Chains A and B, each alone.
Chain A
């Protein structure tokens, strides 16, 4: 380990890493307990609590809700973020800054405020419990993530290929499909995955705008955990960690996890 850190620094670093990983490791370990109570498996591992999750109708339904919600809202967010990103980067027009600020504002408005605001709207238009409107609510929250990556992809983009195609008589639609889209594809897929993860994990806004039939997995877990704490919860959490890890692995492949997390400043 080639390092210039002293033993004190490395000791500190070890504690920080342990602190960051402890709560994630404990849920993954306890999920395999054979006991009826939350305990660390000492003698043997058991899959009984994972079986229990798949037999629990509420959790299964919530898992389906979350999966479809994240898939459709991430896709819809990507579909609207690509043209918006092109508009924001390729055109200078009055109101451009305001538009950019509006599209990124869900990043700084507390999700709690978004939740109560959308609850009010849904109550007035009779959309409470509608899956379609829940998808739209998630699209608002996750669009900024896609938009930032699309903008970054479009900014660092050589337009000579586009100009060449246009001058050779390709229609604008063909240019977009055959040249622009393939060139910004890493940013688009990275943005889609990041949006998927954020939708799949979202709890604070969703808790206000979901009805019993549309409850998402994190909301179901939140409600379950406020009432009872048993290894079932640990098993669901371990599954969540596994799904997130899988999405992170994909994200790392298509875009680079370090670039997503640290940004491109």
Chain B
């Protein structure tokens, strides 16, 4: 039996995790909430070092190795988290999530392999199988998500031929082997470890198959979903080990993660199933049209400066391109210049601007943009019609009217910022390349639209000096 002080410490850690999630739900308490969570995790880990003794009827073995491994992992995690650029943070979260899922799968595999517990109940067996399956899916799925966001591979949906059938077949095989594993015991009453490894392999492939057809702007929702998956697999591993803390922590993450995933999908204006399987339904969207020949209007930095300086109301629409170019400070400088001229300037923040919901708020906060100037989509959309200039910096999909007008577009149904209603639109873009979702944007060809090509930071710097010299 676990000693009472250990169980009390675990109770304390559980409470800290609940307070952490609660704190993270409000801007004022978010940072403290995160620290509470870290405290809970530290308590739980330190207790675990001492804890095996009575629990498993023998002192915890390999303690030096365990402490070294913990230290190695902590240092790697710390350095990775400190070094990562804020723009690359979504894929970092995906990666952290993946290794967590992998760890849960490994933990249950070891528990399964250790011949010490022949009397595994069916329920524990089922929990083992669940952890291995879901943890592995989360592991490979997250790694693939990381690769998509890091642009180690295409971020477009990848639909392999007959993908729908292959995925369904693999899904059936995976579930089938899971069922066999739980129900079919050999004469000694042990489950087949061969099937466990088959299940492991199938689940790893399943993770890839699930994420491959998800594209572009939908990737963040998948990260959130996989995060919930990992939570549930951690909870199941807690059941396998009879550890209450793991059950509580894993379930909290699983439940809140599921809810969060739904909220994110709602912000994108489409049901979750559409996010996951939409690519199978979409026609091979050909953006091949005679795009190069269509007329566009390009502008010089001076033209843009004049448009801005003689406007009464300007709305800035920042996107991922702004962040990539590290132009957050430059845009703030431009906005301050314009405000000094008495021009009303606001930032319009699309819920999924950047690569994740709330990502753009983080990036602009980093550049000390006052919180009050950031307007959410529902608040600012009615204002575009009376706006002189909408300045779109490195955003594309979130202002693409195809989401409103073109039912065949992959982003159809996503709420967008109505820049096409502004009197004039200025796009700062690197090239005519379509956005993350890979769809042509009609606004670019509108006669009221001007394009300023180049790196967002260079372009903005030029516009700033042009405004100054007016």
Q: Does A associate with B in a complex?
A: no
